Amino acid sequence: MDDLEDKKVISDLSVLANQSIAELAKTHPELLIFPDSFEANDDDISKSAIFELSVKGSKTILETGNIMGFIGVKDTQLKIQSRFAKVSVYGQEDYFLHYMLHKVLKFNVLDLKHSRSQTNIFDFLVYLFAYYLKKALSQGLYKAYQKRRYNDSNLKGKIDIQTHVKRNQPFHGNMAYMVREYSFDNPVIQLVRHTIELIKQKPNVRDVLHSDSDTLDFVNLIVQHTPSYDAREKQTVIHENRKPFMHPYFTEYAHLQKICLQLLRYEELKYAKSKDKAYGILFDGAWLWEEYLDTLLSKIGYAHPQNKRSKGGINTYVQKFEGNNVRRYPDFVKDNQIILDAKYKHMKDNNIARDDLNQIISYLYLYKADIGGFIAPSEDENIALKMGTLNGYGGVIHKFKLAIPQNMDSYLQFKKEIAANETQLISTLLNLEGIGKTVRV
């Protein structure tokens, strides 16, 4: 919650305030949402606002929820940090947000050498570029038909009479012709190449291009297959990519195209202040927390069912009824005996919200599981609480909290401290196995 005083800032932010994310995504196409759509999340956060402005007395108050990221509108740029961001000798640091992105997007950040108060939308777009580059190229290098013009003796296409008359008089054996070729050197791959060259010029983020062997290999592959690259053709390439990319197989290229266009057009978006259009990038904190936990729990055997991909989960009914065989998707399941639910929101140590408790009980019933629990981040120490044993079919409810280090002097120190806390959490979860086995009637 922040108290705003600048009338110009309040006026600019009013363009976005108190509107649902779903509405803003439609009216502001340059506002990127990560993951692809909040509407797919169980939290149904698409109905929530990015932030709300309210007047209390003579003050205008800005309140945010679980959304993190950067937004620019008119002359104003708004940086929304995690609730764990703290003021340090280096400024306003949000090491936790960077750490979760590092783990989930799988890029290497050795240290944050400059104040993160200077971090802007561009930096995060670069992180996402590296992430989606790997996802897109894992599907293969995209090929497309291109119209090529030649003037030689190897005629193999449609004669270009007008060009032939201009260039080949008197006749010396060459013919001007056009041919459609299936090529890697196409507008989409050229767009990626222009983005790579742009990032290379940025000292603070260019290391992302060789942060791991896969990223470096893919960057080299793009460079190798774009021999016609010309820095002066950037605007032409952007224009050729004005339509959203669609392909039944190369699906990840659609996301990569969006990121590339945002990066290449960043400056013009930033200074297009006359329009009431927002640009930027948003992360769902609840989704990011869940995906971060997956990087930890997957290593000790937990499955991560996903509603959006129809991956995992369990049927509600044994026998399929028309339109009623709905599947349920807990966040984490191990051996159908331990069910864990990720909660980014504040959770009081001695209390579980009614809806959260009802949800975990339903999961325990469907899986006939023995243990159910919640994992939330905390500003205090690691916590492991046994909340109690359920009536009826039994099952034990637990609550776990992972301590997020506070008041760290550097990102390296933060990583060291949170790694120790992660180890303690994993050890606690491993000790759950074999505990609380119940006899089902």
Give all strands (DSSP E) within 250-370, no chain letters.
278-284, 314-315, 327-328, 332-334, 338-342
Q: Determine what percent of the chain is predicted with pLDDT higher than 90.
A: 37
Q: What confidence category does residue 325 fall into, taking pLDDT thresholds of 50, 70 and 90?
A: low
The amino acid at 383:
I
From CA 110, how far away is CA 108, in angstroms rounded?
Answer: 6
Q: What is the mean pLDDT of residues 187-192?
A: 95
Q: What is the pLDDT of residues 54-86, one digit of tens each?
A: 787 778 787 777 888 888 787 787 888 888 876
pLDDT at 432: 84
From CA 37, how far away is CA 333, in angstroms rounded?
Answer: 24
DSSP string, 91-106: EEE-HHHHHHHHHHHT
Q: What is the pLDDT of residues 223-250, one digit of tens each?
A: 999 999 999 999 999 999 999 888 888 9
pLDDT at 319 over 60: yes
Q: What confidence category does residue 2 fall into, taking pLDDT thresholds of 50, 70 and 90?
A: low
pLDDT at 275: 63
Q: What is the pLDDT of residues 258-277, one digit of tens each?
A: 999 989 988 776 665 546 67
Mean pLDDT for the chain overall: 81
**DSSP category for residue 45:** G
Q: Taking the mean position of all CA atoms in its chain, how far away is CA 363?
A: 27
From CA 418, how far away is CA 420, in angstroms rounded?
Answer: 5
- Distances in Å between the Cα of 84 and the Cα atoms of 112, 153, 335 are 17, 68, 33
Q: What is the mean pLDDT of residues 173-200?
A: 84
Short-list 309, 335, 331, 313, CA closest to 400: 331
Q: What confidence category does residue 194 fall into, taking pLDDT thresholds of 50, 70 and 90?
A: very high
Q: Determine what percent of the chain is predicted with pLDDT higher than 70.
A: 78
Q: What is the mean pLDDT of residues 410-438?
A: 85
Q: What confidence category does residue 343 fall into, taking pLDDT thresholds of 50, 70 and 90?
A: very high
pLDDT at 389 over 60: yes
**DSSP category for residue 20:** B
pLDDT at 231: 94
The two three-digit tokens of residue 289, written as one number? 């927390």
Residue 193, CA atoms < 13 Å, CB-side half-sphere: 25
From CA 196, how far away is CA 208, in angstroms rounded?
Answer: 10
DSSP element (H, E) containing 7: helix 7-13
Q: What is the mean pLDDT of residues 326-342?
A: 92
Q: What is the pLDDT of residues 4-24, one digit of tens each?
A: 567 877 788 888 888 888 888
Q: φ and ψ at 439, to 5 degrees?
A: -90, 120
Peptide bond into 35 cis (omega under 30): yes
Sequence-distant (6+) residues with CB within 8 A of 172 are none
pLDDT at 114: 38
Q: φ and ψ at 20, to 5 degrees?
A: -70, 155
pLDDT at 118 over 50: no
Q: What is the pLDDT of residues 32-62, one digit of tens each?
A: 887 765 544 555 667 777 778 878 777 878 7
